[in-house]
Amino acid sequence: MDRDLKRAVVQAARAMFSEGLVVGSAGNVSARAAGEGAMHITPTRVPYLDLTPEHIVTVTFEGDPIEGEGLPSSESLMHGAIYAARPDVGSVVHAHPVHASAMAVRREAIPAFVDEQVVYLGGAVEVSTYAPAASEELAENAVAALGERRAVLLANHGTLTVGRDPGDALEVTRLSERLAQIWLAASYRAGANLLPSTIVEAEVELYRMMQNEGSA
Ligand SMILES: [Zn+2]
């Protein structure tokens, strides 16, 4: 089972690279491991196109090595903090998509403006308070800004998304990037409309129901 999980991590990481959601060896993908308090995560400094399941490193939520030769991603702390805070999460993807990162540089949330966003992501994509990459503070800030939702912008940095498995978490990254792209285009001039707040509230309820079904 963990072998399949590692393969899913590799597939998502390679897709993330091929789709231009990161360049070079930036970004990272992880999956919650079967054991308590452990995760499988992409290593640092292995080119994505060379990545195989054997390269995936197993570490504790604090980033201490359990299995594997490679050096775990420098953002292991952030991934671990999410798993510790969100028992419903099976996978975490961190990427640098252009439009979502532009919103993160502006330190502006992507507000709730299309129905699928609220139903699948849980509402607006909020921005975490700035903290340097790989710091413990960034991990704490990301957890706080993510809340119960599935996507968050990391100030002046990129995105962090969560899902049941790596394919699902990557799909949330794609959707977040698309939303940022639409929002930047729509808000280029004044007059972009948000969803009515009563609709957002109803859709958040639907999101919560779907999340509970998924983790049951
Ligand atoms: Zn990054």
Distance 99 CA to ligand 1 centre (A): 14
Number of folded domains that form the chain? 1
User: How far apart, in whole angstroms, are the C-alpha atoms of residue 216 and residue 212?
Assistant: 6
pLDDT value of position 28: 96
118: domain CATH number? 3.40.225.10
For residue 176, the SS3 value is helix
Residues with CB under 5 Å of ion ligand 1 are 158
Output the six-digit token pair for 100.
Answer: 């979502």
CA distances from 130 to 56, 60, 152, 200 (A): 29, 25, 12, 27
Distance 160 CA to ligand 1 centre (A): 9
CA within 13 Å, CB half, 68: 27
Distance 96 CA to ligand 1 centre (A): 6
- 75 flagged as catalytic: yes
pLDDT value of position 35: 81
Q: Which of 127, 121, 136 is nearest to 113 (CA)?
A: 121
Q: Would you write out the chain's pLDDT as a tens digit for each of its 216 residues?
A: 688 999 999 999 999 999 999 999 999 999 999 988 999 999 998 999 999 999 999 999 999 999 998 888 989 999 999 999 999 999 999 999 999 999 999 999 999 999 999 999 999 999 999 999 999 999 999 999 999 999 999 999 999 999 999 999 999 999 999 999 999 999 999 999 999 999 999 999 999 999 988 665
User: How far apart, in whole angstroms, are the C-alpha atoms of residue 111 and residue 83?
Assistant: 25
- Structural domain span for residue 39: 2-215
